[in-house]
Amino acid sequence: MEEQARQILLTNLRRGVADWNGKEFNFSVPSLTGYPFQWFWDSCFHAIALTHLDPDQAKAELTTLLSGAQPDGFIPHIIFWEMEKQPDFLNRNIVGMTSPYFSATIQPPIIAYAVERVYRATGDAQFLEAALPVLTAYYRWLRYHRDPDEDGLIAVIQPEEAGTDCSPKYDEVLGLDELSNQGFIAALRKVYAAYEPMRGDDRRILAADIFHFEDVLVNSIYAFGLRSLARLLGDSPDAGEFSREADKTRDALLEKCWNEEAGAFFDLSGVAEKPVDGGHHQLTDAAGAQ
């Protein structure tokens, strides 16, 4: 199994220099044909796996991802390193964008945990030193842009951001009337169209209350990442900030999302934070919905 994992990860390596920003890239793609770019949480998990196979490649994976951070701290969920492959991809997929070079959306923020795993495996202080300012800016970006009510829970603005694209828990808010892959994509296109004039202004998008989910999975990962960041910061004055934020997120999950009767945590939908019980039906043929 280890050898097969090695073959997949190392066969899927993409290395080079991007024409559009002159930066070197070195990472594993999720798929050489279907998904030939860098995806945020895919790269995080690739790096964790690579600590067992090729620690230097694990560092390269995350260094490449961190190099996509924007001046305001945002790290996109897709970076189109090789632009010549983009037209074919966009013919088959819909992506919210404010730049031709990357998406305008997030994925579950596992990156600090991935950096921690790679640092623990390699002991590379230089790698950590370079990563920390990018990580602190990113988690502050999430807090400011995705938690406008400051309750400790960040919100996603479309299903793909949560990594659970076709979950039936989104059916109601998407107004899904055809339970098929085509029905899901049609509903998603309506969300994208509504966002078009607002893309890049996440607080405005959340206030519009079109698709506003405080997702339990995403916030559990957010708290997890904040804990990792606090540990990585060690004695730095910033460590306490992220530790307190992790506590706040944990407490909000318990207070707002836990349902004692059901024995489960429920996501919260909309500015009004309506609990969502996960839906009562399943989508069919949901593969490749992006």
Cα–Cα distance measured from residue 107 to residue 76, given in angstroms and rounded to the nearest whole number: 8
Chain segment 226-256, per-residue pLDDT in tens = 999 999 999 999 999 999 999 999 999 999 9
Chain segment 100-159, per-residue pLDDT in tens = 999 999 999 999 999 999 999 999 999 999 999 999 999 999 999 999 999 999 999 999
> Which helix H or strand E contains 16, and what residues bound it?
strand 13-17
**Residue 62 to residues 44, 133, 231, 264: CA-CA distances in angstroms?**
7, 14, 18, 34
What pTM value is reported for the model? 0.94
Comparing CA positions, the residue from 197, 194, 165 lying closest to residue 289 is 165
Chain segment 193-210, per-residue pLDDT in tens = 999 999 999 999 999 999
Calculate Rg over the CA atoms of the chain: 19
- 12 pLDDT higher than 80: yes
Check residue 278 and give its pLDDT.
Answer: 62
Check residue 177 and give its pLDDT.
Answer: 83
3-state secondary structure (DSSP) of residue 2: helix
Cα–Cα distance measured from residue 290 to residue 278, given in angstroms and rounded to the nearest whole number: 21
Check residue 242 and give its pLDDT.
Answer: 98
Cα–Cα distance measured from residue 62 to residue 198, given in angstroms and rounded to the nearest whole number: 30
